[in-house]
């Protein structure tokens, strides 16, 4: 890997002399996640150092899928797909958002949050940097707001040159306020329903949203006969509808 990265650097310098680049697509690597007991912190440290020292284009992460059963191989019930997703999210934060892995994770919590994405998690732990004023903050500060990405940040910066932005304008610009609304102010005002800016309030709301979305995602394959009650249920209901002996007695005694 070192050989390739050195040669890429050399060929960049010699670009004026030779037409063909050495390894024009850059180099990448892949890490298998979940087979060994490493923490997310260790994995991300590795990829950060790869990006910094070897100038890699990308590091891919893939969840370990157990194909064979053997006592030497780790036994996993399901591949850790959520962990893979969180690692990719953190990877993007490293490359495009100017984060360092020491900001996102440390020894006290070495793994990513399962319910919140890494940027949200970071923002909740560093509430002293928030709220961010949309009309004044610079590009790098805007990027650190959860829910605002590269495209949104650039759009905000071009749009606010002429006018002060408010929340309605932000919605029109196509900026998703689902998470961002807890961390921003427009002209010194919070988003309407937000009454207090503190850790508990924000985290409760964010986690509630996450849970709501997980509840709704329990889809069922529909079938033609779904609307008809099943045979067992029918007979059960039928029994209930018919008056029992006790009911008859109650009728006689006037209780029903």
Partner 1 sequence: MFNGNVINKTYVYDGTFEGLLSMVFDCYIKKVIPLRIVSKNELEINFLDTIEEIKTDNIKAKRIFDGIAKNISYDTLYNSYYAFLSDGNEKELNILKYILNGFVIGPKINTMLSIDFVFAVCSMRKRLLGESHRFKRFTPFF
CA nearest 146: which of 183, 113, 173? 183
CA nearest 48: which of 107, 109, 105? 105
At 186 the three-state DSSP class reads strand
H or E stretch covering 202: helix 199-216
Contact 50, 79 (CB under 8 A): no
Least distance from C-beta 108 to partner 1, angstroms?
42
- Stretches 74-82, 119-127, 157-165, 226-234: which one binds partner 1 (CB under 8 A)? 157-165
Which of 71, 162, 192, 239: binder of partner 1 (CB under 8 A)? 162
Which of 165, 177, 194, 207: binder of partner 1 (CB under 8 A)? 165
Beta-carbon count within 10 A of 77 CB: 6
| Residues with Cβ within 8 Å of residue 69, at least 6 apart in sequence | 75
Question: Which tokens belong to 26?
Answer: 């850059």
Residue 177 sits in the site that holds partner 1 (CB under 8 A) = no
Residue 18 sits in the site that holds partner 1 (CB under 8 A) = no
Which of 35, 127, 173, 207: binder of partner 1 (CB under 8 A)? 173
Which of 62, 169, 203, 205: binder of partner 1 (CB under 8 A)? 169
- Report the distance separating Cα 255 and Cα 240, nearest Å: 18
At 50 the three-state DSSP class reads helix
Which of 37, 174, 188, 193: binder of partner 1 (CB under 8 A)? 174
- Report the distance separating Cα 94 and Cα 131, nearest Å: 22
Residue 155 sits in the site that holds partner 1 (CB under 8 A) = yes
Instruction: Kindly identify the residues of this chain, within the stretch 27-46, that bind partner 1 according to CB under 8 A.
Output: none
Instruction: Kindly identify the residues of this chain, within the stretch 115-154, that bind partner 1 according to CB under 8 A.
Output: none
Residue 158 sits in the site that holds partner 1 (CB under 8 A) = yes
Which of 4, 115, 127, 159: binder of partner 1 (CB under 8 A)? 159
Residues lying near partner 1 in the complex (CB under 8 A): 155, 158-159, 161-163, 165, 169, 172-174
């Amino acid at each position: 890997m070192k050989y390739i990265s050195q040669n890429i650097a050399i060929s960049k310098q010699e670009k004026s002399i030779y037409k063909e680049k050495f390894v024009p697509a850059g180099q990448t690597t892949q890490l298998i996640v979940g087979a060994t007991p490493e923490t997310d912190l260790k994995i991300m440290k590795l990829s950060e150092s790869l990006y910094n020292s070897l100038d890699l284009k990308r590091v891919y992460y893939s969840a370990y899928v157990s194909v064979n059963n053997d006592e030497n191989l780790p036994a996993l019930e399901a591949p850790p797909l959520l962990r893979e997703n969180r690692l990719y999210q953190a990877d993007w934060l490293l490359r495009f958002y100017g984060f360092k892995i020491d900001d996102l994770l440390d020894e006290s919590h070495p793994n990513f949050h399962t319910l919140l994405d890494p940027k949200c998690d970071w923002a909740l732990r560093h509430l002293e940097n928030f709220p961010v004023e949309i009309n004044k903050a610079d590009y790098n500060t805007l990027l650190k707001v959860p829910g605002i990405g590269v495209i949104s940040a650039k759009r905000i910066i071009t749009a606010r040159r002429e006018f002060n932005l408010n929340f309605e304008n932000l919605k029109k610009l196509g900026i998703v306020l689902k998470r961002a609304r807890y961390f921003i102010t427009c002209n010194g005002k919070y988003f309407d329903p937000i009454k207090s800016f503190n850790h508990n309030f924000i985290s409760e709301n964010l986690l509630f949203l996450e849970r709501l979305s997980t509840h709704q995602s329990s889809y069922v394959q529909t079938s033609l006969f779904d609307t008809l009650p099943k045979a067992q249920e029918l007979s059960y209901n039928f029994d209930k509808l018919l008056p029992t002996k006790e009911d008859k007695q109650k009728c006689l005694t006037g209780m029903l």
